[in-house]
Amino acid sequence: MPKGTNQKFKLYRLAQIMLERTDEEHYITMPEIMEALKEYDITAERKSIYADLRDLETFGIDVEGEQVGNRYHYHVVNRPFEMPELKLLVDAIQSSKFITARKTNDLIRKLETFVSRYDAMKLQRQVYVSGRIKTMNESIYYTVDEIHNAISENKKICFQYFQWNMKKEMELRHGGAYYRISPWGLSWDDENYYLVGYDSDAQMIKHYRVDKMLNLRMIDERREGRDHFKKLDMADYAKKSFGMYGGKEQDVKMLVENHLAGVMIDRFGKDIMMVPVDKEHFSVKVQVHVSRQFLGWVISLGEGIKIIGPDEVAGQMKQEIKRLVEQYGE
């Protein structure tokens, strides 16, 4: 049998054929394998293909043959990811506001290479499940990478920070001045990515939306604020900050109707202490950054929850309610 012009790629193409065209439900016969190799201008005899299928195990590709009638049907029996795992990753990518629409499609196309062409179609259908709002800052991936580099090298970063104006234009904050921050971690909250870092000038921990950073670069200055972050639990920090908005951290006591117990646990975790007050209510004390966003969250739960301490926070709630009445009242 005359050899094709691409014989040296035979094992690679065989792996590609098996991974793309077979799965738990789709098989390929030996004649079909030989025909598929011909599409790449590769010729092979059955005996050599049998040996090559065994050699694929060296690359972690296990091929199983099953006799059906007088023929054997072959398919790949293991892959790096199972379909439910890939669907979970696709859903996470699709629902992430900080990943742009273009990058979402790029990432999902890359995930499709881990499955057969048939299963890839199932992932493609999920891409269009929902038209969620996406960030428009395409540089976020490189920004995140540079932040990780700075953290690993114990260096500060500098960047410009923007907000959107009424003309839908990027408007630099602080007149375009660069922020100089010691990065200590990244937090994913409310479908957005945040940098949590130490501002040496203000001598406090601050957080910034990563998709609103521009022209970020690492600078040759050692990070500061280590002592602050030794005391900081990143997950706890995000839990206390509603929508990652700042505010004075305080112990807030609330009177809550029993049916909202699940809401409290979902928000603050199972470690909170819920003390029964009567048959219909319990009290709970939580540490939060008291901000307008926190007060709005309490208001959204209606008559089922009430801030009962400290007086300062209850007073802030009264002022917020008064502001709303004046804003929407006649």
Q: What is the pLDDT of residue 129?
A: 40
CB-count exposure of residue 29 (10 Å: 0-12, 13-18, 19+): middle
Which one is predicted more confidently, 238 or 121?
Answer: 121
Residue spans of alpha helices (H) in the chain: 10-21, 30-38, 46-55, 83-95, 101-112, 117-127, 140-152, 226-230, 234-240, 261-268, 292-300, 311-328
Percent of the chain scored above 70 by pLDDT?
85
CA nearest 94: which of 123, 60, 136, 117? 123
Residue type, 178: Y
pLDDT in tens, 303-325: 999 999 899 999 999 998 898 88
pLDDT in tens, 224-263: 988 877 766 555 565 555 554 556 788 899 999 988 888 8
Cα separation values, 224 from 61, 197, 201, 271, 299, Å: 48, 9, 11, 32, 38
CA distance 79 to 60: 8
Specify the 3-state DSSP secondary structure of 225: coil
Backbone angles phi, psi at 191, to 5 degrees: 65, 15
pLDDT higher than 50, residue 131: no
Specify the 3-state DSSP secondary structure of 255: strand
Q: Is there a contact between 173 and 213 (Cβ–Cβ < 8 Å)? A: no
pLDDT higher than 80, residue 152: yes
CA distance 324 to 104: 39
Could you please report the per-residue DSSP string of 153-205? Answer: TTEEEEEEEEEE-TTS-EEEGGGGPPEEEEEEEEEEETTEEEEEEEETTTTEE
Task: Please state which of the ranges 59-68, 226-235, 262-271 shows the lowest mean pLDDT.
Answer: 226-235
pLDDT in tens, 80-99: 888 888 888 887 787 676 67
0.95 exceeded by the pTM? no
Four-point Cα dihedral 298, 299, 301, 306, nearest 10: 60
pLDDT higher than 90, residue 222: yes
